[in-house]
Amino acid sequence: MKTYIYNRKYLRLLVAIALIFSVSSCSFDEQVDPNRASLEGVLTNASINQLNNLVVGVEATMRNGLGIQTTGSGTMARELYLFDADPRNTADLLGANGGNLDNNSFYSTAPWAGRYRAIKNANILLESIANTTSITDAQRAGYSGFAKTIIAHELIDVLKSYNRARVDVADPANLGPILEFDAALDAVIAMLNDGLTDLNAAGSEFAFSLGGFTGYDTPSTFAEFNRALVATAYVYEGDGTSALNALNSSFLDLTGDLTIGPKHVFSLGSGDITNDLFKITDNNGDQIIVHDSWIVDAEAGDTRVTTKTSVRSNPTSQDGLNGTNQTALYASNVSPIDIIRNEELILLYAEANIGTNNTEAVNAINVVRNAASLPNWTGDSSDDNAVLMEMLNQRRYSLWCENHRMFDLRRYNLSNTLPIDRAGDQIFNVLPVPLTENE
């Protein structure tokens, strides 16, 4: 994976844009700084270089709030604890003493803001390409296909955490309503299909470079990422047939490397950020601790337990919570984070087949089991529910600490199966929409 350092000058522009065009209900007076690039400069006849800086900004802001979103949902789903200096990570998120989640705390505001910051930058890109004559129609289609695909990806993440999403945010002065899950997901699917149309009209090369999309950085290969996302949305919608059709055009490979797929990339370069899901081994002040149930419930010999986590030299505890294992998911603070990878697509393929072709679903499940050094599943393949439970179990171990478990349990009405670690704790499976977004 190549290292990609995001443009520092452009990151300063992003801050200015974010302040002026916040998607929250707050408003700011526009300030003119003659020493920095202006928003008007990219919205009126932008050059290719300016447009490409916007692409850099979109990809960079996709990472905003990612760590908080992942540890927050993982805590609520009882797959991990975040032991650090903020007591809300071990109190609010677990419903300690009958408490409720706060719609104005970092765990509810940061993921929302992160996703919508990237969406805002993608919308600026869409507006800019509509108002410039410096690019060809094919280049315009490439920028548009990229932007629409990224917006859809960010909205899927919003829906997983909040169960609702504001889709129409292109005009900060006239925001659309917050849509319920089904309506928002339909809009996401339509956006991805529009994005595919653009990508198909974009020719053989993009006019821009991408940092974390090695192997998916041409219109045709980026379209495979687009189809992976729409397959995900169809699975979440319960439309297995459409999901399978989309997966056929994605980078799904039942016999291929499970790790392939686009990534969020990080570096130590000036102006860039690092992977905040990396934690120092045996650190006591800031550590992602594995929920004991994830260790206890694992099948003997499952190598995901030993590759994704490690045993601490000493067990640790905080706020009456305990753990023996810590994260080993990332080797360093510049390790990439998967956006979506082949392993997830194989599990989506299995899910889409359940109920219509359980044999094929089990075959896909066995690909993942075998990769974890487990034998083929020996359950009853004629029992749809048994196959479903096995698929969800494989997602539990393959996608640990990747912002999936809370949503998986919620969409299958299984949140009530989670353990209660302390008397008075509660189970939450959706984050509250931030206070500033209340209509």
363-395 confidence digits (pLDDT tens): 999 999 999 999 999 999 999 999 999 999 999
Identify the CA nearest to 79 among candidates 341, 432, 408, 338.
408
The total number of residues written for the chain in this structure: 439
- DSSP-derived secondary structure letter, 45: S
Q: What is the pLDDT of residue 439?
A: 58
Q: Is 82 in contact with 321 (CB distance < 8 Å)? A: no
Q: How many CB atoms lie within 10 A of CB 43?
A: 15
Instruction: Give kind and range of the element (H or E) at residue 125.
Output: helix 106-130
Q: What is the pLDDT of residue 285?
A: 86
Q: Which residue ranges in the chain fall short of pLDDT 70?
A: 1-38, 439
Q: What is the pLDDT of residue 5?
A: 40
CA atoms within 13 A on the CB side of 188: 34
CATH topology of domain 8-270+336-416: 1.25.40
Domain chopping of the chain, boundaries: 8-270+336-416
Q: What is the pLDDT of residue 438?
A: 77
34-60 confidence digits (pLDDT tens): 334 567 778 989 999 999 999 999 999
Q: What is the pLDDT of residue 32?
A: 35
User: Hey, which residues does 80 pair with through a beta bridge?
Assistant: 290
CA torsion angle 256 276 416 410 (round to 10): -60
Q: What is the pLDDT of residue 39?
A: 74
185-205 confidence digits (pLDDT tens): 999 999 999 999 999 999 999
Q: What is the pLDDT of residue 30?
A: 40
Q: What is the pLDDT of residue 31?
A: 37
